[in-house]
């Protein structure tokens, strides 16, 4: 992975050292499936399975990443219904436990599952080996069910220590290669060092930040969806 610049390192350090606590695991906000009249009835489903960065932490309804991604895709002529299965505070272990229930209760089998997890593991200092094992199990289950996956990655704050960073950061590219999954290397890259795009906690995007992330990730999502539909 390419070395991070000073601005990236400083904002990650600020996020990890912020006086704001991370969302509590019991503070769940699983947004309802997006329902939009502009989405064609035959649109393939993208399931956004993740934590607060998908759930839309402290944002108004319709401002979450899945909601805005759905709007952007359909506005660009790419038919897709994006279901928000994000839960604030989720660790990879908690998400692993709810994966089967979430998939079993989808009215339509997803054409693609986006997996956005790991930030809470890092903020809690959980062992990277556990994070890797949980994400591996999630991807293995998706593969077993014949559902293509896309990973939106995370990076560790440098104050976690060199050993932690060295074990944590390669998890996403390594698993993407293992499972032939599409990869966004660092989901929060588009809002780094830009407080105007962040909530006061310096951890989550505000509505404008979500717009920036959608713009940055939409091409990769389009490519991953097209590949999934032609398998």
**Annotated catalytic residue 204:** yes
Four-point Cα dihedral 6, 10, 12, 14, nearest 10: 180
The C-alpha atoms of residue 104 and residue 84 are separated, in whole angstroms, by: 15
- Given the residues 51, 52, 64, 90, select the one marked as catalytic: 52
**Annotated catalytic residue 202:** no
Pairing state between β 112-116 and 149-152: parallel
62 phi-psi bin (left φ>0, alpha ψ -120 to 50, beta other): left
**Annotated catalytic residue 36:** no
Contacts 24+ apart (CB under 8 A), 26-29: 26/89, 27/88, 27/89, 28/87, 28/88, 28/89, 28/90, 29/55, 29/56, 29/57, 29/86, 29/87, 29/88
- Given the residues 51, 88, 204, 211, select the one marked as catalytic: 204
- Given the residues 10, 18, 136, 201, select the one marked as catalytic: 201
The C-alpha atoms of residue 160 and residue 149 are separated, in whole angstroms, by: 28
Active site residues: 52, 201, 204
């Amino acid at each position: 992975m390419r070395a991070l610049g000073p601005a990236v390192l400083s904002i990650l350090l600020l996020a990890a050292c912020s006086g704001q606590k991370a969302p509590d695991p019991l503070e769940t906000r699983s947004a309802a499936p997006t329902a939009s009249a502009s989405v064609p009835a035959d649109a393939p489903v993208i399931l956004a399975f993740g934590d607060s960065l998908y759930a839309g932490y402290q944002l108004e309804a319709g401002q979450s990443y899945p909601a805005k991604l759905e709007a952007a895709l359909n506005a660009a002529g790419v038919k897709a219904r994006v279901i928000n299965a994000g839960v604030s505070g989720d660790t990879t272990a908690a998400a692993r436990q709810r994966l089967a229930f979430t998939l079993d209760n989808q009215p339509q089998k997803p054409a693609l599952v986006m997996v956005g997890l790991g930030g809470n593991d890092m903020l809690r200092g959980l062992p990277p080996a556990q994070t890797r094992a949980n994400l591996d199990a999630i991807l293995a289950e998706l593969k077993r069910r014949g559902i293509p996956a896309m990973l939106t990655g995370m990076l560790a704050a440098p104050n976690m220590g060199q050993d932690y960073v060295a074990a944590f950061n390669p998890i996403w590219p390594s698993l993407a290669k293992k499972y032939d999954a599409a990869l966004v290397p660092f989901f929060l890259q588009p809002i780094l060092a830009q407080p105007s795009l962040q909530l006061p906690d310096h951890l989550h995007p505000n509505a404008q930040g979500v717009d920036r992330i959608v713009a940055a990730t939409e091409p990769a999502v389009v490519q991953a969806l097209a590949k999934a539909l032609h398998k």
